[in-house]
Structure 1
Amino acid sequence: MKKLIFNNKTYALALLVVAATGCKKDFTNPNETPSDVVFKNPITAASAAVGIQRTYTAGQASTFFAAIDANGLTTNELILLNPGNVGENQFSKGGINVDGTNNVLTNIWTNGNKMIFDANNVIRYGEQTTDKPYGAGLISYASIFKALALGNLSMFWEKVPDTIGTIGTPVTFIDRMDGYKKAIRVLDNAIVAYEANNPNATVIGRLTAGVANNGMINALYALKARYALFSGDYDAALAAAEKVDLSKKVVLDFNAQVMNPVYESATSNTNFFQPIDSTLGLPEAIAPEKTDGRILFHTRIKTPQESNPRFRINGFYAALNTAIPVYTPGEIMLIKAEAYARKATPDLGQALIELNKVVTKKPAGDIYGVGADLPALGAMAKNDLLVQIYRNRCIELYMSGMKLEDLRRFEDVLDETLVTRKRNFMPYPFTEKDNNPNTPNDPPF
């Protein structure tokens, strides 16, 4: 395996650097404090934790931007404005045009593995420190981002790495559903640590305010609910969702030095992508009602001074310092609705109640101002109810990076004309194939 050595100030807080090669990892950066020193020091251990968030959110190469980019173009949420962006052009064309050279997929893959590696070190320090409340904060914070990394890998690929390997020991792969289950185990471990020893003010003050200040426990339960739903454990999804305090914001903060990655690369210019139109990428039969207040939350109409396209990015990507939620109240309501509808013994009445909380929600009644403000839906058959849950997930969670996963999960109840995607699973990056003989074969579509 090749060794990657660089000096990049934007990753000064990230103590370890992932090689852009296979999962036989050699993390070397001679310009930073050695990890055996870092993880004996509580201040630098917290800085390493913050570095994981930077890997997830900082710039066009970040996991977060790449996931919005790949998902949005593949599922028709977005339109490509400049075909000179090769990776994006592959998604826009879809099918076999998406291959292992795709730089956007490589960013998700490489950053995801880096996040997992760095999180493992932070979690290990948190478990070993004698200051248990401090350690609980580190474990909880790092576990949020480790779970997000595992979740993103599992959303895009059929198989995901089982662990982070060492030189000479290429990793093996597990099914993506096991990837979600691994994320849930990470979250469960963090929940136990958090509830046994509530993080103290010292560690919270050294982590990013948006994630740490309102109780990381809410993000841990919200992500557990998300990945339990994705893996088909509906009782666990419901139990976790019930634990989330919907009045608390857990967000990724930005400023002029570290900008909102979608704003920086897409909202602020017309070089990458913009919303497709007011349908938000949904076919006419299930497109948003014209009076749906969420259309003008997620999008805006261009000003007379601006060039085409007519519809522009808004909402959580409107400005350089707009915070991005780790989860939203609407997502939690829709997780409950779907889980009630899909349980072994469905509770369609309760599913409809949860769905209507989203359908009737006014912007003023949502902590982020997201509200459809529509009349409540009436009783309906199970499949029709699931279609409405899918429809509202696509609208409520527009540009959240989850639509591709939703399409797979709801395909059994959607008419074929409503299944709009250009690929189902992604090919493995050549950087992995070239260095790991265990890399699975690419899916046909």
Structure 2
Amino acid sequence: MKKYIVPILLTSLLLTQNACNQEYLNPSAASEQQVVNSPDGLVTLVNGLQYRYTFGRTGVIYNAVAASGLATRELRVLNAGNTDELFLEQGFASVQGSNVVVRNLWTSAQLTRATADIVLANADRVITDPGLKSGVVAYAAIFRALSLGTLAQFFEQAPITSGTNAAFVPRAQLLAAAIQQLEAAATLVAATPPSAAFTARVPAGIDIPNTIQALIARYALFAGDNDKAIAAAGRVNLAVRSSFAFDDNTRNPVFETAFSNVNVFAPTNASLGLAGALIPDPADRRLAFYLRSNATAQQNLGTGFYTANNAAVPVYLPGEMLLIRAEAYARKNDLANAVTELNRVLTKTPAQDAWGVGAGLAAYSGPVTQQAVLQEIFRQRQIELAYQGFRLEDSRRFGRPGPDTTPQANAERTRNFLPYPFTERDNNTSTPPTDPS
């Protein structure tokens, strides 16, 4: 992604908005009129989407991993000087709208969504080359969906448009908008695949057709549309990788900030923070993938996809698609198909997985009841998708012990949703007057 930093920086001040969508103009940058009326300008904006979404300690990836992991005891803070992360670990009322992790998660997702909206509003009018237009629209749709989906995972409501005092909508509407955008992109890409003229001008890594279907499956599952989730996950080619790329200039954010040191956060323990019936099988080969062996007090346990500055981070994992299908079938009470998909995860070896994530375990042998199968699916999601930022969403969706649990020490998550950032509350009168728990 190194070669895309300069052009996006030239326009970043133009498009940087706070929560109330103020503009900060840079006199040395191209004007908004120039950008939105030029195919090259729209391609430049598209290039900036991944940079905005993934960059460092301010981007969505780091803050989603931190917020989800710390609020569910998947991760623990190593240095109490990281006060915002520490407050997330403490959870409950310690998490306020002033929290920097909460603010960065919200702001990065909203800025990515706002930039994608600009691209989508102008692409059809400005770009005449069909293959270039298809790529630009599909790429913007992916990042718009990722942004809306992330907001829905962590916040009870959020604005879906830009503007002064933009209205908040329920998370169900955020998910529906993400799915609708992706389905429109899927139709476009099927009719006109993105051209080499487009793919040569954006960061390598994201496979557009498979990513679109994977995200439809993910957000349909979160929205409770089990049939759509099953169908979309089944259309994903599990042998194809799709990833966010990094290098020594645009670094893997979780490695750079946390897993490369013993100063910020680390996995809670060698059981990935899972307890009781959820503890991983010691023979599970994924433990060696996600955890350092023989770690000392001076070593961070975390590995997985956060092992180097240039380590790629998957947009989705093959195992996620299998577990989406397993969960959706189980919620339909089609337990035979649910167990079939679950077993594809349990028995998969590292060599059989596009990313090397494999449990290599025996097939499921527990009770074939909806409750038992769903619990095993939840367990497998927490291992297969460790440090991916899904545990808070999963804990809530599966009805695991939450912040109202007595005693609080037994809570598996310390929040249901995050509070709205003060930056939004101070600048947008539409912000709900009360924060969710």
TM-score by length of 1: 0.91
Partner of residue 426, structure 2: 434
The answer for the alignment partner of 1:382 in structure 2 is 370
In 2, Cα distance between the equivalents of 1:141 and 1:418? Answer: 42
Matches within 5 A, 1:41-440: 41-128=38-125, 129-165=127-163, 169-211=164-206, 215-301=207-293, 308=297, 312-343=301-332, 346-378=333-365, 380-411=368-399, 420-440=412-432
Q: What SS does the corresponding residue of 2:427 show, helix, strand or coil?
A: coil
Question: Shift in Å at residue 124 of structure 1?
Answer: 2.6
Distance 1:413-1:442 versus aligned 2 partners, 3 A rule: closer
CA contact (8 A) 1:57 1:65 kept: yes
Contact 1:407-1:419 within 8 A present in 2 as well: no
- How far 1:311 sits from its partner (Å)? 5.1
Identity of aligned residues (%): 40
How far apart are 1:24 and its partner, in Å?
A: 3.7
1:231, distance to aligned residue in structure 2 (A): 0.4
The corresponding residue for 1:4 is none
How far residue 149 of structure 1 moved from its aligned partner, in angstroms, is: 0.6
For 1:11 and 1:302, how far apart are their aligned partners in 2? 42
Contact 1:62 1:107 in 2 (8 A): yes
Distance 1:366 1:418 in 2: 35
Q: Secondary structure at the match of 2:389?
A: coil
Distance 1:393 1:10 in 2: 38
Q: CA deviation at 1:19?
A: 2.8
For 2:130 and 2:24, locate their aligned partners in 1 and report how far apart those are by CA, in whole Å: 28
- Tell me the distance in 2 between the aligned counterparts of 1:28 and 1:228: 38
- Decide whether the 8 Å contact of 1:24 with 1:436 is kept in 2: no
Q: Deviation per CA, 1:256-295: give whole Å up to 9, x if none.
A: 1111111111122111101111111111221101111111
Deviations 1:95-132 (A, max 9, x none): 10100100111111111111111101222333222111
For the structure 1 residues 193 and 10, does the alpha-carbon distance in structure 2 shift closer, same or farther, using more than 3 Å as the test? Answer: closer
Q: How far, CA to CA, are the matches of 2:356 and 2:40 in structure 1?
A: 36
Q: CA deviation at 1:41?
A: 2.7
Can you list the C-alpha shifts for 1:207-249, whole angstroms capped at 9, x where unaligned?
11101xxx40100010000000000011111111111111111
Separation in structure 1 between the aligned mates of residue 111 and residue 401 of structure 2, nearest angstrom: 37
Task: Report what 1:29 is aligned to.
Answer: 26
Which amino acid is the alignment partner of residue 81 of structure 1?
A: L
Rounded Cα–Cα distance in structure 2 between residues aligned with 1:380 and 1:418: 27
Q: Structure 1: 5+ residue runs without aligned partners?
A: 1-7
The answer to whether the 8 Å contact 2:349/2:357 transfers is yes
Once the 2 structures are TM-superposed, how far is the Cα of residue 444 of structure 1 from its aligned partner?
Answer: 5.0
Give, in angstroms, the shift of residue 438 of structure 1. Answer: 1.0
| Residue pair 1:39, 1:125 contacting (<8 A) in 2 also | yes
Partner secondary structure for residue 141 of structure 1 = helix
Any idea what the Cα deviations from partners look like across 1:325-377, whole Å, max 9, x if unmatched? 1001000000000111112xx21100100001001110000010001110001
2:51 partner letter = R
SS in 2 for 1:313: coil
1:86–1:200: structure 2 CA closer, same or farther, 3 Å change rule?
A: same
CA distance in 2, matches of 1:10, 1:442: 40
How has the CA–CA distance of structure 1 residues 413 and 273 changed in structure 2, closer, same or farther, with 3 Å as cutoff? Answer: closer
| 1:360–1:160 Cα change, 3 Å | same
Structure 1 position 13, deviation (Å): 6.2
Contact 2:267 2:301 survives alignment (8 Å): yes
Q: How many aligned residue pairs are there?
A: 425
Q: C-alpha distance in 1, partners of 2:25/2:188? A: 30
Name the CA distance, whole Å, in 2 between partners of 1:352 and 1:13.
Answer: 52
Gaps in structure 2 of 5+ consecutive residues: none
Give the Cα separation in 2 of the matches to 1:404 and 1:243: 26
Residues 14 and 339 (structure 1), Cα distance of their counterparts in 2 relative to 1, 3 Å cut:
farther
What amino acid maps onto 1:393 in structure 2? R
CA contact (8 A) 1:282 1:418 kept: no
Three-state SS of the structure 2 residue aligned to 1:122 is: helix
Q: Do the aligned residues in 2 keep the contact of 1:387 with 1:413 (CA within 8 Å)?
A: no
Task: Describe the SS at the equivalent of 1:49.
Answer: helix
Aligned-residue Cα RMSD (Å) equals 2.0
The one-letter amino acid of 1:401's match is G
Deviates more, 1:52-61 or 1:125-134: 125-134
Amino acid at match of 2:192: N
Q: TM-score, normalised by structure 2?
A: 0.93
CA separation in 2, counterparts of 1:438 and 1:249? 40
For residues 104 and 226 of structure 2, the distance between their equivalents in structure 1, rounded to whole angstroms, comes to 31
- CA shift in 2, pair 1:54/1:350, >3 Å: same
- 2:145/2:179 contact within 8 Å kept: yes
Q: Specify whether residues 224 and 341 from structure 1 end up closer, same or farther in structure 2 by C-alpha distance, changes over 3 A only.
A: same
Provide, for residues 136-188 of structure 1, a one-character-per-residue CA deviation record: whole Å limited to 9, x for no partner.
Answer: 100111111111110111111111113111xxx31111111111111111111
For 1:140 and 1:258, the matched residues in 2 are separated by: 23
Question: Given the superposition, is the C-alpha separation of residues 359 and 14 from structure 1 closer, same or farther in structure 2, using an over 3 Å criterion?
Answer: farther
